[in-house]
A and B are shown apart, each in its own frame.
Chain A
């Protein structure tokens, strides 16, 4: 199985300030079809997960442009340019390149 790790596991941030989460996979996430199926999901308290970013850097429909994704191969980053109160929650990276699909442990983002 591909193991996904995230750092930090907890990130207290100041409103209006940037935040960054790193995700690393135990092997390359480049699929044989040429795509890299690395996505980021947000889970607000009491809510189901919500897709933010897919294929490394593509924002899903309705996702604010303060969220951005980058990376390649085994190292990926989610950035929030200016944290807003509604961004509080847990963020997961997920790989869908190889079965079984796997998730990172989650990074909890809250307000200082």
Chain B
């Protein structure tokens, strides 16, 4: 079965760079049509889409955060890494990674990790 798990620091200081890792199993990011995305949710607020990387290394970013985000994949390790620079307290949120299958699947985010809460504070 498909599982995803986010890992990274729970606390970062303002201006620091956040690095989050999504480790997954049950699928391969070298399979045509497959992608892994990042979505965040500030406490008590709605979901916000951040970034997505596809099997062919096509990368898409939220325009409002594009200058601060980088998404990469390591197919051999079954991992996707998201970095976000210049962290600010407003970036405090639970960060989720999720699976997307475009060609033969739902076309939506059908499997989600449990999420990791990142707090930005000095």
Contact = CB atoms under 8 A, between A and B. Distances in A.
Interface of A: 1, 35, 37, 39, 41, 48-51, 54-55, 58, 60, 92, 94, 96, 99-106
B67 interface: no
Interface string B85-101: 00000000000101010
Nearest to B49: A101
B106 interface: yes
8 contacts: A37-B107, A41-B47, A48-B112, A49-B47, A51-B109, A55-B108, A103-B49, A106-B47
B47 A54 contact: no
Contact of B106 (A49, A50, A54, A102): A54
B106 A60 contact: yes
Interface residues of B, number: 24
Q: Interface residues of A: mostly helix, strand, loop or mixed? A: loop
B73 interface: no
Q: Which of B100, B109, B111 has the most CB of A within 10 A?
A: B109
Contacts of B37: 101
Given A99-B60, A100-B60, A100-B62, A48 B108 contact: no
B10 interface: no
Contact of A96 (B48, B107, B114): B107
Contacts of A105: 46
Given A1-B63, A103-B49, A48 B110 contact: no
A103 B48 contact: yes
B52 interface: yes
Contacts of A103: 46-49
A35 B110 CA distance: 17
Contacts of A55: 106-108
